[in-house]
Amino acid sequence: MNRQQLRVPGELGDVRPRSTARPSVANTESSRAIGRDPEIRELDEAELIRRIQVLRRERGAVILAHNYQVPVIQDIADFVGDSLQLSQQAAATRAPVIVFCGVHFMAETAAILCPERMVLIPDPEAGCSLAATVTADEVREWRRLNPNGVVVSYVNTSAAVKAESDYCCTSSNALRVIEMVPPDREVLFLPDMFLGLYVERMTGRRLRLWMGTCHVHAAIRMEDIEAAWAGQPGADLLLHPECGCVSNCMAAAAAGELPADRTLVLSTGGMVAHGRTCHAPADLVGTETGLLHRLRLENPGKTFIPVRDDAVCEYMKTITLAKLYRALRDSVYEVTVAPDVAARARRAIDRMLAAV
């Protein structure tokens, strides 16, 4: 493990974030299969929806969708939510088939929680640039060097990384999970450095931070916040903790340069709850733009403005109606996790589900 991947508590030193370019997922195997499929090629959106409705009933399937999915997928899903809510739904469902419209690590988590169900993802190349910044070998190496250390992994990690972790968390319960760890133990928090810095600030706990970032959220900078707020001074600012500007915004709010009571760091599910209960005339939304569909649908009298129009996760958008139909028709692509990996990852995931 090289020194540039980890931040020593209390200093940034010479470490650099692991950055990832915007991914190109336009031409996945699943997309090519749709292009070659003589039946699907002929179907318009209305017919795809009709056939999905028939198949989901025949198969007793439940369709779960993340808040960043394209509108038509959110609209057809049985449940739309954030990472934690989707894990809870997967754990609770009795449906024999789960079609997971989200990214691969989310479907893997569902497969770990529901080994007796068939978990399908319409496009297995729906990855995550943040999850890709850390491997199980790297976590094992840290453990070898720090035998008394505790590893807390954000849910945006592969099953193999979760299997090497003591705890999992999501953006909605990271603070609670850190508070569960005995105070005398050194903690490696991975892989998102901005979430890690936020957790440090809020809990006062010094952490070893993995220097991973999400290409979508890392690009949301202080200049974007200043420009958005200049146009909507009465709005609330909702920031996902993966955003590159979270630490600066927290510092600015503490210094009175941003209104502290209207600068809120929330998971996507937290933003949905805020939209429903809080009556500011407008919310500035600092996360992936897919969430705007749901916010606007549920709160027609309110204005929601993205702090960046180009905050788009290409991985999330690879899931389409045609791929969802094919998933149900052909039982592709099944997501499975080797039983030994699943058993070890499950411990960490169960602790995440307990911290609500």
Contacts with ligand SF4, residue ranges (CB under 6 A): 103, 128-130, 156, 214, 216-217, 242, 288, 313, 315-316
Query: Nearest distance from residue 96's CB to ligand SF4, in Å?
Result: 27
For 278, the token pair is 């809080």
For 240, the token pair is 């996902």
Nearer to ligand 13P, 74 or 170 (CB): 170
For 201, the token pair is 């600030």
Q: Which of residues 168-207 bind ligand 13P (CB under 6 A)?
A: 170-171
Query: Nearest distance from residue 242's CB to ligand SF4, in Å?
Result: 6
Q: Which of 214, 235, 237, 327 binds ligand 13P (CB under 6 A)?
A: 214
For 335, the token pair is 């997501």
265 binds, among ligand SF4, ligand 13P, none (CB under 5 to 8 A by kind): none
Residue type at position 169: C
Nearer to ligand SF4, 159 or 258 (CB): 159
Query: Nearest distance from residue 315's CB to ligand SF4, in Å?
Result: 5
Nearer to ligand 13P, 165 or 322 (CB): 165
Please tell me whether residue 138 binds ligand 13P under the rule CB under 6 A.
Answer: no
Query: Nearest distance from residue 129's CB to ligand SF4, in Å?
Result: 4
Per the CB < 8 A criterion, the answer to whether 303 and 282 are in contact is: yes
Can you spell out the DSSP letters for 288-305?
Answer: -TTHHHHHHHH-TTSEEE
Cα separation of 91 and 109, whole Å?
A: 9
Nearer to ligand SF4, 52 or 169 (CB): 169
Cα separation of 195 and 85, whole Å?
A: 19
> Which of 137, 152, 189, 164 shows the shortest CA–CA distance to 6?
189
Q: Which of 18, 82, 159, 272 binds ligand 13P (CB under 6 A)?
A: 82
Q: Distance from CA of residue 217 to its chain's centroid?
A: 11
> Which of 214, 244, 213, 211 shows the shortest CA–CA distance to 142?
211
129 binds, among ligand 13P, ligand SF4, none (CB under 5 to 8 A by kind): ligand SF4
Say which residue the tokens 């993205």 belong to: 306
Q: Which of 28, 89, 267, 318 binds ligand 13P (CB under 6 A)?
A: 267
Nearer to ligand 13P, 67 or 320 (CB): 67
267 binds, among ligand 13P, ligand SF4, none (CB under 5 to 8 A by kind): ligand 13P
For 244, the token pair is 């590159």
Nearer to ligand 13P, 67 or 263 (CB): 67
- For residue 311, the SS3 value is coil
Q: What stretches of the chain show up as alpha helix (H) in DSSP? A: 29-36, 38-41, 45-59, 71-76, 83-92, 104-113, 136-145, 159-163, 174-180, 193-203, 222-231, 246-254, 268-277, 291-298, 321-330, 339-354
Query: Nearest distance from residue 211's CB to ligand 13P, in Å?
Result: 17
- Positions touching ligand 13P (CB under 6 A) are 67, 82-83, 156, 170-171, 214, 217, 242, 267-268
